[in-house]
Structure 1
Amino acid sequence: MGEALHAVETMMLERRPGCPFDPPAELLEARGHGPVSSFTFPGDVPAYVITGYDEVRAVLVDPRFSARKELMLDLSMDITGWDPPPATPGEMVFMDEPLHGRYRKPLTSRLTPRRIRQLTERVEQITAECLDAMEAAGPPAELVSAFAKPIPTIMICELLGVPYEEREYFQEQVDQFLGGEASTEEQMTAFAAAHKYFAELVLAKRAHPTDDILSDLTETDLTNEDLKGISFFTMSAGFDTTANTLALSAFALLQNPEQLAVLRDEPEFAEGAVDELLRYTTVAKTFMRRAMEDVEVGGVLIKAGTVVVLSYNTANRDPERFPDPQKLDLRRKAVSHLAFGHGSHKCVGQQLARMELRIALTGLFNRFPTLRLAVPVEEIGLRPDTAAVYGMTSLPVTWDA
């Protein structure tokens, strides 16, 4: 009889005080017992948590595991006896083929390396404008609102063709819905307003196309509802994850001055530094899959119908893949990290996100070489780790004017 698996009691875990970049200690401990742990969802539904790097990658490319939203469970509440709805149009991360490809392929074909290169100059300009505003106002500054949020928000606006005069309203709705500080009622109001906005934007692009991805997509066979969904998905995925990675990366570098020196003084490591920061912060922490037939993972038989929780942030701290994984090392070759996922569902906008992070972070620390925290570390505003996307609510900084 085999040895009993280590049991993860709950996934609603907080990080240890003083360790804002490390996954919860309980998950790191689980990884130490093996790549697969047992878990029970509310309602006494048996499942597994997968914390090993190789095992998470294996599940993500195995067609015997489904990503369909209606087959998933909830980490915080008992939904047994309730039929969860399927993914909405455009919500491609919760779809299997061929529906997943119907939404992904048109978007991928328009986020080409050539288009990313064209956007590089614009990201440099937006970054410079944010830094100019910070410098003009003088120290101190709150880096999340002054820097980390505006850059990806403006880029998403321009990708989708949001008119310049409507950006302020757009950013307000995004911040309310995804910022992590609004009440549930405020979030739902912003959610409805964003959907209404995108529905109207799609009609406007059909009538008067401009030079943006949404206008391009109106020339495909995607319906108005499809395009509204893709726009909302692009905004959600492209803004919140990048903004929080940018803020956490700046915080991590300020906490690791020897690594900040690598970013500033050794430009040959700039590209790799971004991947190491993505590995180290991993803001999108977990995804789920359901086994559609019996599958063995990490020596454990996953029975058909069983849900597995894939712990991205723990897999990115797997010592068998990344030696000394708790250390931030910008010289590390971390390109194989799982912060963007893996396989057919790997983040569509990964190259855009990498480019934004590289330009924004190097620009920030080159402009303000004396940048430092303006408050004690314990006063930095962090989202609870129970949030869907980990990140920051505030990062007060100062510098020598």
Structure 2
Amino acid sequence: MAHPSVVTLPEGTEPLPDFPQARQCPYQPPPGYLELRGTEGPVVRARLYDGRATWVVLGHAEARDLLVDPRLSSDWNRPDFPSPSPRRKAIQKATILIGMDPPEHTAYRRRLIPAFSVRRTRELSESIHRRAGELVGAMLEQGPPAEVLTGLALPLSSHTICGILGVPYADHEYFEQQSSLLVSPQVSEEQATGALMNLRSYITDLVGEKQKQTEPGEGLLDLLVHRDLAEGSIPYDDVIRLGIVLLMAGHETTASMITLSTYTLLRHPDQLARFRSDPENAALAVEELLRYLSIGDVLMRVAAADITVGGVTIREGDSVMLSTTGINRDPDVFDDPHTLDLERGARHHLAFGYGAHQCIGQNLARAELLSALSALFGAIPGLRLAGSADEVRIKPAQSGVQGIYELPVEW
């Protein structure tokens, strides 16, 4: 197996750009990404935080090819697997599913698909829409100002994933707090590891309670405990790890997407007017927001064999980072890609990835985003930012999920 390469350049050589880079505007790619694609092409060389060289994929066609190529590994247990930050590196090996290759990944994903299917999402849509309406109603009752992340986005996404998994919603503040430590670049490796252990302890206790129940609940964890674990087709530890990763991913990304989408529409009044005037095409608008914002920016991989793509050869052991921010702004695929156009119909975006690792919760995320935006802008016609648009705090590039920390609004 090839060893990870650390960047060493001859004297006088132009240094490699850093990856990932910070956004200057919450909904626009870092300027450096645009410069890289314009001068270097769809697959470029960059440098990670630890000095390791990486290939950064910015082209849509190249990303689609690579994401279905079995020579590109997602196995986080490989010693040469890269990481965009120390915090991510500290927690990578403790999770499951995301960091696995077929056939193990295929077997685990197959167990989870029914809980996140289109059919299941349709069954849940009414309760998601109702909950979104209740939360917006509470914001109205409280009166302005209000905060979108804590008032709508987080409670809606937490309520939904709790229902899917069979996790008590009464505990949402605790697991939201622990999950936020795992995605915050400000925390140390020790703090991130501690938060992960806290989540592990929480899920372990919950699984223990479910094992004692003679009649299982309707959540996915109940199914894993009373079917897969009971029949011995899945190890106990893997049930715990699946619970952790689904609980984390199920609310953090969706909450960030709801909050940033609200900010973006408020900053694009012409598109907001279009969204309000054409509710029948709201689902189409959601696809454009997913493309335009691309909050899950970094897809991490490592080459398990040599691969030639985009005019370059990626060697075995090389780090590969696919930037959905760059990929979904590819001018060869999307006309005028830096313009928000809710009528674009951008269903071929890669905001949820592509291939075997395409986000399993994408249908649920779409339903939550649609319900949240429809409820918020439908009930509060005069919604506006409370304070200057420049005052919002942008999450750092290493956070793993792009977005803003809070969104105060008034009406």
Structure 2 match to 1:27: 33
Rounded Cα–Cα distance in structure 2 between residues aligned with 1:179 and 1:151: 21
Determine if contact 1:199/1:224 at 8 Å carries over to the other structure.
no
Structure 1 match to 2:8: none
Structure 2 match to 1:139: 144
* Distance 1:11-1:211 versus aligned 2 partners, 3 A rule: same
* Distance 1:84-1:240 versus aligned 2 partners, 3 A rule: closer
Give the secondary-structure state (helix, strand or coil) at the position aligned to 2:398. Answer: coil
Rounded Cα–Cα distance in structure 2 between residues aligned with 1:157 and 1:337: 28
* Distance 1:44-1:162 versus aligned 2 partners, 3 A rule: closer
Structure 2 match to 1:10: 18
Aligned equivalent of 2:261, options 216, 234, 249: 249
Q: TM-score, normalised by structure 2?
A: 0.88
Q: CA deviation at 1:342?
A: 0.2
Q: How does 1:311-390 map to 2 (within 5 A)?
A: 311-390=323-402
Report Cα offsets for 1:15-61 as digits up to 9, x if no partner: 23xx2211111111111121011224466544321111111111100
Q: How does 1:110-189 map to 2 (within 5 A)?
A: 110-178=115-183, 187-189=192-194
Determine if contact 2:328/2:350 at 8 Å carries over to the other structure.
yes
Structure 1 match to 2:75: 68
Give the secondary-structure state (helix, strand or coil) at the position aligned to 2:98. Answer: helix
Structure 1 match to 2:43: 36
Q: 1:101 is matched by which residue type in structure 2?
A: T
Report Cα offsets for 1:73-101 as digits up to 9, x if no partner: 23356xxxxx999744x621111111111
How many pairs are equivalent?
388
Rounded Cα–Cα distance in structure 1 between residues aligned with 2:130 and 2:351: 27
Rounded Cα–Cα distance in structure 2 between residues aligned with 1:170 and 1:389: 17
Give the secondary-structure state (helix, strand or coil) at the position aligned to 1:139. Answer: coil
Report Cα offsets for 1:171-223 as digits up to 9, x if no partner: 44334544667676654443222110101111222222211111112212222
Structure 2 match to 1:230: 242
Q: TM-score, normalised by structure 1?
A: 0.90
Rounded Cα–Cα distance in structure 2 between residues aligned with 1:302 and 1:370: 52
Match status 1:105 vs 2:110: yes
Give the secondary-structure state (helix, strand or coil) at the position aligned to 2:351. Answer: coil
Which 5+ residue runs of structure 2 have no aligned equivalent? Answer: 1-13
* Distance 1:12-1:167 versus aligned 2 partners, 3 A rule: closer
Rounded Cα–Cα distance in structure 1 between residues aligned with 2:113 and 2:84: 31
* Distance 1:177-1:133 versus aligned 2 partners, 3 A rule: farther
Q: 1:30 is matched by which residue type in structure 2?
A: L
* Distance 1:142-1:57 versus aligned 2 partners, 3 A rule: same
* Distance 1:168-1:25 versus aligned 2 partners, 3 A rule: closer
Determine if contact 1:68/1:87 at 8 Å carries over to the other structure.
no
Greater CA drift, 46-55 or 272-281: 46-55
Match status 1:55 vs 2:67: no
Match status 1:216 vs 2:228: no
Q: CA deviation at 1:262?
A: 1.5
Determine if contact 1:341/1:347 at 8 Å carries over to the other structure.
yes
* Distance 1:284-1:317 versus aligned 2 partners, 3 A rule: same
Rounded Cα–Cα distance in structure 2 between residues aligned with 1:37 and 1:9: 10
Rounded Cα–Cα distance in structure 1 between residues aligned with 2:237 and 2:51: 37
Which 5+ residue runs of structure 1 have no aligned equivalent? Answer: 1-5, 78-82
Q: 1:32 is matched by which residue type in structure 2?
A: G
Determine if contact 1:179/1:393 at 8 Å carries over to the other structure.
no
Q: How does 1:268-287 map to 2 (within 5 A)?
A: 268-287=280-299
Match status 1:191 vs 2:196: yes
Q: 1:377 is matched by which residue type in structure 2?
A: A
Greater CA drift, 202-211 or 372-381: 202-211
Q: CA deviation at 1:151?
A: 0.6
Give the secondary-structure state (helix, strand or coil) at the position aligned to 1:110. Answer: helix
Greater CA drift, 145-154 or 41-50: 41-50
Give the secondary-structure state (helix, strand or coil) at the position aligned to 1:386. Answer: helix
Give the secondary-structure state (helix, strand or coil) at the position aligned to 1:92. Answer: coil
Give the secondary-structure state (helix, strand or coil) at the position aligned to 1:93. Answer: coil
Determine if contact 2:90/2:189 at 8 Å carries over to the other structure.
no
Rounded Cα–Cα distance in structure 2 between residues aligned with 1:182 and 1:8: 26
Rounded Cα–Cα distance in structure 1 between residues aligned with 2:108 and 2:223: 14
Q: CA deviation at 1:303?
A: 1.9
Report Cα offsets for 1:115-143 as digits up to 9, x if no partner: 11111111012111211110110011111
Greater CA drift, 172-181 or 52-61: 172-181
Q: What is the alpha-carbon root mean square deviation over aligned residues? A: 2.4
* Distance 1:370-1:183 versus aligned 2 partners, 3 A rule: farther
* Distance 1:97-1:330 versus aligned 2 partners, 3 A rule: same
Determine if contact 2:185/2:398 at 8 Å carries over to the other structure.
no
Aligned equivalent of 1:204, options 190, 209, 214: 209
Give the secondary-structure state (helix, strand or coil) at the position aligned to 2:54. Answer: strand
